[in-house]
Amino acid sequence: MADCSEKREAHRALLGTKVSWTSDDLHWHEDNSQDVSSTGMMLRTKQQIEPGTMLKLRFNLPNRKFHDPIMAEAEVKRVVCRQDRQIGVGLRFIVLRSHDSRVVHEFVCRIIGLPLDDIIDSMGDAEEDGYSYQMDRLLREADDRTARLADQKLLKENAKLRKKSVRTWIQRGKRIALLLLFIVFAFKATAWFTDLSCLFYGR
């Protein structure tokens, strides 16, 4: 069974793209990413950034160079150092538009070569060194969509059941009406035969 670090590597896609970022909305910096996942990114930067710092990001994916950049807000979860020198930071997406989230997720899946459902199911609850693969927001959105579809299906089924129930009661009503008519006819027929008998024997 793969450990958490193996899971983490398995679900990140190498991505060297320009990332514009700021921590104060005033000074923008530009660095390169190292990799990206559906929930975060490794940013190669020598700028000193403390864990917990919130960053605003702008970046493009290779298959979307001529589209609007992806906008995101991310939290610095860890600082990556080599030989006591900072070489990058691990980011976790906090705010990401639904459309951009799907774009990033699809990109990662295409690079890794896994279907969307497989990558979601296999991420589990692993979290190491600030990288989280719980994908809470994506799963909540998927659950919401599933719930909406289930509600719509339930409404349609209830409507069908109501129509079927109405048709059933109409059919029962017709049968009851026919039965009542038959009973009335039987009483009248009995009375008619009784009158005939009286007339016949009365003579």
Number of compact structural domains in the chain: 2
Indicate whether 147 belongs to any domain.
no
Residues 65 and 118 in one domain: yes
- Domain membership of residue 166 (yes or no) is yes
Q: What CA–CA distance (Å, rounded) separates 86 from 93?
A: 21
Indicate if 69 and 164 belong to the same structural domain: no
Of 39, 169, 158, residue with least CA distance to 92:
39
Q: Are residues 106 and 176 in the same domain?
A: no
| Residue 139, in any domain of the structure | no
Q: What is the mean pLDDT of each run of 10 residues along the chain (203 residues)?
A: 38 88 92 91 92 94 80 93 88 88 85 65 41 44 70 85 86 87 83 73 59
- At residue 63, the pLDDT reads 72
Contact (CB, 8 A) for 2 and 10: yes
Considering the domain architecture, whether residues 162 and 202 belong to the same structural domain is answered as yes
The domain containing residue 79 runs over which residues? 4-134
Beta bridge pairs of residue 32: 18, 44
Identify whether residues 121 and 170 lie together within a single domain: no
Q: Are residues 108 and 28 in the same domain?
A: yes
Q: The whole model's pTM is what?
A: 0.51
Distance of CA 10 to the CA centre of its chain: 22
Do 66 and 95 sit in the same domain of this protein? yes
pLDDT at 135: 40
Looking at 102, 134, 166, which one is the last position of a domain? 134
The answer to whether position 129 is within a domain reads yes
pLDDT reported for residue 92: 93
Whether 141 is covered by a domain: the verdict is: no
Residue 169 sits in the same domain as residue 130: no
How many Cα atoms are found within 13 Å in the side-chain-facing hemisphere of 67?
13
d(CA 141, CA 136): 9
The reply to whether 40 falls in a domain is yes
* Residues 198, 168 share a domain: yes
* CATH number of the domain enclosing 53: 2.40.10.220
Q: Is 161 helix (H, G, I), strand (E, B) or coil?
A: helix
In a domain, 149, yes or no: no
Helix (H) or strand (E) holding 110: helix 98-112
pLDDT of residue 28: 94
